A and B are shown apart, each in its own frame.
Chain A
Amino acid sequence: MPCPDLGTLRVSLDDDAGAAPPRLRDHVQACASCLDTVAELRRNAELAAPAIAMTGPDGRLSPAAVEAALTRFEQRRARLLAVRAATADGPAARTADPPEPVVPLRRGGRLARLGTRARGVAAALVVVVVLTTMIATPGGRAAAAGFLAHFRSERFQVVALDHSQAVQLNAAMTQLVQTGVFSGDQRELDRLVTPLAVRDLAEASRLAGFPVHAVDRSALPRGVGATPERVLVNRAHTARLTFDRDQAIAYFRRNGQAQVTIPERFDGAQLVIQVPAIVVQQYAGRDGTPRLLVGKAGTIGMDAAGGASLEELRELVLHLPGLPKGAVEQLRNLSDWRTTLPLPVPSDQVRWRAASVGGSEALSFADSTGKVHALLWRHGGYIWGVAGVIGAGEALDVANSLG
């Protein structure tokens, strides 16, 4: 047998003792030149192996670390998609408002300006005023079109979104608005995001069209001021979102779904959202930071006008590419989509359970720190919410004192 080449000799070092072909082993044992080469190869490998091993990270990545990396990846991808969509849609689209998260717990928006400690309150407040929060953002307006396009709010159901799903949802919704699939009168939509700060509860009652009372002192948590330091009102009104068939088809195509056909009669169909009046009272703690928020709103309604029914528009929206699969499944599984208000809730930051307020079914929420609690329930034709840096029992006391 002639001397094997360098590669063959190197491979033989990695084989188990019995794995190298016997002829090769026999040759190497009998060939001084090959023995020298193998010895050198072994020395080189024995130097390289531990040296390179030393450069590795400490230990294997845990599954949780990989999941976290996947979440960061999805966020990065969503940002890229949004930028690409904005770049592809011309100057008009690029002048649109910057996208905001559908569930803006971490950044952006009026709520985030309340200060560090108050951000927890803001997080809980999102649950209370989730509708205005959703409709307040460019993405949220389209989200409203999709997720709220099917109900007259008689009960609530949580749609659990982890952070990456919320980001994904926002990116998809932002695209829908930026590409003109859904559009609306800017002034009408702006009204949703501009609550009025009013002088007192009497004025709030007058503007809202329903009575609003301060929380009974005996029910307030310790350390919370007796009167609301701020009262905000959103007046009831109607907002319309118009569907553009051509833009929708283009949207499907851009997202790799070229075969989609949408009936022509859908073009120009409108989602008509009856936005209820909303009043939010804000109570401060001893240090002046917001500690308690109490909200009251009318019933939300939605209907369709034009060539598509509410059900058809709902189907269409649920088929839009880019929506988080888990969220779509939850929406499909709503027991009665015409009367159930889906509440998008960040499952990685907020826990929830069923509760009862004065005999009415309620949802109880707590943030991941356990310091922020909130309650949401429906009673007497109104939606009620309590949230704050308070205990679960304190939230329940406040809730039971209302209405």
Chain B
Amino acid sequence: MGSGWVIAVRDEATAAADTRDRFEAVFRARYGELYSLSYRLLGDHGEAEDVVQETFLKLDGQPVLGRPVEEVAAWLRRVCLNATYNRLRGRRRATARLDRAGRLERADEEADAGGGPLLDVLRAEQQRAVRQALASLPQRQRACLLLRHAGFSYAEIAATLDLAVGSVGVLLARGERAFRDAYLDRNDADPGADDALP
């Protein structure tokens, strides 16, 4: 009885171990930036972490893991942003349900509830306004704006959104203009008007 079967198993096991090592390396290298991206839109640590974990679960076993690192990173950003958008949509649906039931609490109670310093409350309110303005943008503009101001290069944004690099500037310019309009409109409006009970 030869030991060929053992060697065959060992080769397979080595390849599997390499894939695992690569996965872990990608996780360590990309987790922080994905978390940061998702958090910027969701504003909730637990939800952002959950979204990033879902993103890596989708990567697990995907052939894309064998592609060059920039492609893997772009794939991850794309999946993470989509998962975040889905989460936001789910949140809006839940909010609408509560709204209809007349049980919606004022969102700013969240900030008040902590009883933190006034500046914290104001900051939380501003963050909420920014997120609401971002949420009102078309999906690609929102992603472009977010990626750019989170520090990604034009090439990275193009790879994430599957665009030509030359198209990123236009998308960014339009996104920033739309953001300005949405943000200033909200700031000019009566604070908390969106949260008023029906």
Contact = CB atoms under 8 A, between A and B. Distances in A.
Interface string B114-151: 00000000010011001101100000000001100110
Nearest to A322: B16
A41 B173 contact: yes
Contact of A321 (B16, B27, B183): B16
Nearest to A43: B180
A32 interface: no
A30 interface: no
A252 interface: yes
Interface in B1-46: 1, 4-6, 8-10, 12-13, 16-17, 20, 24, 27-28, 31-32, 35-36, 39-41, 43, 45
A78 to B, nearest CB: 11
Contact of B31 (A61, A256, A319): A61
B27 A315 contact: no
Interface SS majority for chain B: helix
Contacts of B133: 51
Interface residues of A, number: 49
B57 A76 contact: yes
Interface stretch (A215-223, A233-241, A258-266): A258-266
Contact of A73 (B36, B40, B56, B172): B56
A80 interface: yes
B150 A8 contact: no
Nearest to A44: B176
B43 A55 contact: yes
A315 B3 CA distance: 11
B173 A7 contact: yes
Contacts of B16: 255-257, 321
B82 interface: no
A80 B57 contact: yes
Contacts of B171: 7
A2 interface: no
B169 A10 contact: yes
Given A7-B168, A52-B145, A325-B20, A260 B127 contact: no
Contact of A319 (B9, B167, B172): B9
Given A6-B169, A8-B169, A54 B127 contact: yes
B31 A69 contact: yes
A72 B53 contact: yes
B32 A60 contact: yes
A14 B31 CA distance: 26
B60 A77 contact: yes
A70 B56 CA distance: 10
A45 B176 contact: yes
Contact of A9 (B40, B61, B145, B173): B173
Contacts of A47: 176, 179-180, 183
A17 interface: no
Given A9-B173, A52-B130, A70 B17 contact: no
A319 B15 CA distance: 12
Given A41-B173, A52-B149, A57 B35 contact: yes
Contact of A10 (B4, B35, B41, B172): B172
A259 B176 contact: no
Given A52-B146, A69-B49, A260 B9 contact: yes
Contacts of B102: none
A48 B36 CA distance: 17
A245 to B, nearest CB: 11
B9 A11 contact: no
A40 B180 CA distance: 11
B176 A54 contact: no
A46 to B, nearest CB: 9
10 contacts: A6-B170, A44-B176, A44-B180, A56-B39, A57-B48, A77-B57, A257-B16, A259-B8, A259-B12, A260-B8
Given A40-B177, A260-B9, 10 more contacts: A11-B168, A43-B180, A51-B183, A57-B45, A61-B31, A69-B53, A77-B60, A256-B61, A263-B5, A315-B6
